[in-house]
Amino acid sequence: MTALAKATALRRRKGGRPISALTAYDYPTARLLDEAAVDVLLVGDSLGMVVLGFPDTTHVTLGHMLHHVAAVARAKPQALIVGDLPIHSYDTPAAALETARQFVAAGAEAVKLEGGLEQADQVRAITAAGIPVIGHLGMLPQRVLEEGGYHKTGKSPAQAEAILAGAQALVAAGVCAIVLESVVPETARAVTAAVAVPTIGIGCGDGTCDGEVAVVTDLIGSFPWFVPPFARPEADVAAMIREAAVKYVARVAAGRG
């Protein structure tokens, strides 16, 4: 399936079978998640925290992202490969388009960017070039320094209206889906009901969006040092790695390789 066909199929899932999305940053993880029939593989800029060891996503560069998008693309997944545009790589429509083109050259089939009304021209520039775009509203990790931390949003009427206006602007500009992050359930539900494209929630409560996205390390328990309160791990890979390494060290100490 072409990138555009995959993005169109994603958009048509509005109100239908819930969309499953997971982050992936490398070839083996992308292959394994694709075998599980996940719909979307997001090469998120969460990469900066859970793979590269930075304190937040503001340290992530275009070079980092392209390197990892290419690794995920080598897995040739059935899932839609979405690349997250890093901070300051889409400050103007021309910059956004140039960055999106580099993502596509690296193997991305769609790109994601953070923000609402102020990103409408950027989204228009990218979609006009035939590259699908996913929006991202609510808590915006690239603004964590200005916001002073990761906070729930959409609580007050003003916040809820801003998210809704942002969502409508993104839809008018041509996004095929919108990620809602850490938006209170009532607002996530209202935005989902109001917009024509699927919403994909993280930290917004059960059944409030058209799908869910999770950071893969939160799902498999491989990054135990920062686990968001809404994470629901299905495995404890950190414990397995520690145990295997302890057994290996003991084996070597006993003279066995």
Active site residues: 181
- The minimum distance between CB 214 and ligand KIV, in angstroms, equals 8
Q: Which of 46, 102, 208, 222 binds ligand KIV (CB under 6 A)?
A: 46
Contact status: 216 vs ligand KIV (CB under 6 A): no
Q: How far apart are CA 85 and CA 44, in angstroms?
A: 8
What string marks each residue from 196 to 215 as x (binds ligand KIV by CB under 6 A) or -? ------x----------x-x
* Residue 23 contacts ligand KIV per CB under 6 A: yes
Helix H or strand E encompassing 22 = strand 19-23
How far CA 224 is from CA of 80, 218, 230, 231, in Å, comes to: 28, 8, 14, 11
Q: Using alpha carbons, select from 33, 66, 73 the residue that is nearest to residue 216.
A: 33
Q: Applying CB under 6 A, does 56 fall inside the site for ligand KIV?
A: no
Determine how many CB atoms are found less than 10 A away from the CB of residue 222.
19
Q: Does 89 engage in binding with ligand KIV (CB under 6 A)?
A: no
- Please list the alpha-helical segments (H only) found in 57-210: 62-73, 93-106, 120-128, 144-147, 157-173, 185-194
Quick check: 139 binds ligand KIV (CB under 6 A)? no
* Segment contacting ligand KIV by CB under 6 A, of 37-45, 93-101, 155-163, 233-241: 37-45
Phi, psi (deg, nearest 5) at residue 42: -100, 115
Site for ligand KIV in 235-254 (CB under 6 A): none
Chain residues that interact with ligand KIV, rule: CB under 6 A? 23, 42, 44-46, 84, 179, 181, 202, 213, 215
